[in-house]
Chain A
């Protein structure tokens, strides 16, 4: 079992194997996103409370989910890097960050747009958006740290520590923001009341979420491969690989 894992996680093997998966992942992501968008924008019924404006949740909710998921992924990869000294795990954590930040920014932007439609303000300090904003800062901090450290290995290792510290703090941050919100704004935790979900609305949402997930998988593999090539460029297998 361990032998299988260490073979799988070896950088040359990972590089070659992932190269085969990537085109399929892109295709699957494109398909899912197209179907999900159609489902959300066209096929899903109009919400009787919020009209057509609610449709933005088909982008907002999956991107918020991905924002959280990617950080969990980074933290998991970082933990693996620490416990088993797996270089691939360090690399995956490092390259996921910009993707996670992008999802977070998308969630914030769509949240802002939704708010603008609903209450005519471009920003509300509700618990959910504020939590996402702080998550965004966590991502930015991680990326800033990576950018500041020139030595790739130190950068990846430092990033792993930061990701683990961050992940422990996320529930604390989330909880504290909810407290803060109830203290200052009364009982409602989120102004973004989700419309009650029928299946017609649910399946596009899940499709979009899955599409985002597959997109993330493809993008992470692409970035990881590029990072591996740069990091190991003195090694023979890289020289052979590039020559092909």
Chain B
């Protein structure tokens, strides 16, 4: 069955990507939201270039966080409603492995577009090339972790009314370390202090999340569907 597990994983990944591509309109929402949120801050704080340069990285990170939160709601919902999620849990393959494919698909469709638009937003906030680079690197390591942690919260709240708000409440403390290390990396770079330790921490958290979270998400899905 080992060969079949890999092909089942690919099949799930391919399926989710196909479904997302065929609902292309929805893909734009998190990106637009991200840009909109980030643009709000200069309106609130004033357009002083020096101020924006110093708070800019934090703003981008919070914006990315909020955009991810927004996009998470759709992660399992459609499959839950049409019964495909049930069939996934019924598979002889370990649910956690199959779920990891779904999470990866989510990041490819949500996280990567956010990443791609970050340089543009950096320009809006007057960030230096160094800050841009560290920001991008941090987000590259951080957004998959956000998708992973988010998947647990979505799985736990499947089918509940006002689940979106509950998801945000659950994820706030869990996202804090990624935010601290990601934004901290840029802050450190601007002070001409080492940046690698921050990236190591982000990488470590991603590695931990990638191995452990799918198990938790699968357990959460079973709990939510077993009712």
Query: Which residues of A does B touch, CB under 8 Å?
Result: 82, 134-135, 137-138, 140-141, 144-145, 148-149, 151, 153-154, 157-158, 160-162, 164-166, 168-169, 172-173, 175-177, 179-180, 183-184
* Contact among A82, A135, A158, A175 with B224 in the assembled complex (CB-CB below 8 Å): A158
What residues of chain B lie closer than 8 Å to A168, measured between beta carbons? 208, 212
- How far is B184's CA from A166's CA once the two chains are assembled, in angstroms? 22
A239-B26 Cα distance, complex, nearest whole Å: 53
8 Å CB interface, B169-190 against A: 169-170, 172-174, 176-177, 180-181, 184, 187-188
- Chain A neighbourhood of B160, CB < 8 A: 148-149
**Cβ-defined partner of A135 (8 Å) among B149, B173, B184, B226:** B173
Q: Please give me the 4 A-B residue pairs with the lowest Cβ-Cβ distance, nearest first.
A: A176-B177, A157-B223, A154-B227, A141-B170
Among B201, B208, B212, B219, max chain A CB count under 10 A is at B219
**B205 at the A interface (CB under 8 A):** yes
A residues near B8, Cβ cutoff 8 Å: none
A173–B174 Cα distance when bound, in Å, is 8
Q: Once the chains are docked, how many angstroms separate the CA of A177 from the CA of B216?
A: 24
The interface residues of chain A lying within 8 Å CB-to-CB of B219 are 82, 161
* A-B residue pair count with CB separations less than 8 angstroms: 88
Q: Could you tell me if A145 and B166 are in contact, using CB atoms closer than 8 angstroms?
A: yes
Q: Is the interface of B mostly helix, strand, loop or mixed?
A: helix
Given contacts A141-B173, A168-B208, A173-B176, 11 further A-B contacts (CB under 8 A): A82-B219, A137-B173, A140-B169, A145-B157, A151-B227, A161-B152, A161-B219, A172-B177, A176-B176, A176-B177, A179-B201
Cβ B173 vs Cβ A169 within 8 A: yes
B65 located at the interface, meaning its Cβ lies under 8 Å from any Cβ of chain A in the complex = no
Q: Shortest beta-carbon distance, B210 to chain A, in Å?
A: 13
Give the chain A neighbours of B172 by CB distance below 8 A: 137, 141
The verdict on B156 contacting chain A, using a C-beta distance below 8 Å, is yes
B139 at the interface (CB under 8 A from A): no
Instruction: Return the chain A residue nearest B172 by Cβ.
Output: A137
Q: Is the beta-carbon distance between A144 and B223 smaller than 8 angstroms? A: no
In the assembled complex, the CB of B31 is this many whole angstroms from the nearest CB of chain A, namely 27
B101 sits at the interface (CB 8 A): no
Q: In the assembled complex, which residues on chain A have CB atoms less than 8 Å from the CB atom of B125?
A: none
Assess whether B220 is interfacial by the CB under 8 Å rule: yes
* Most chain B CB inside 10 Å of its own CB: which residue of A137, A145, A153, A165: A165
Contact partner of B227 (CB less than 8 A), chosen from A135, A144, A153, A173, is A153
Shortest CB distance B32–A (Å): 28
Digit string of B63-92 for contact with A (CB within 8 Å is 1, else 0)?
Answer: 000000000000000000000000000000
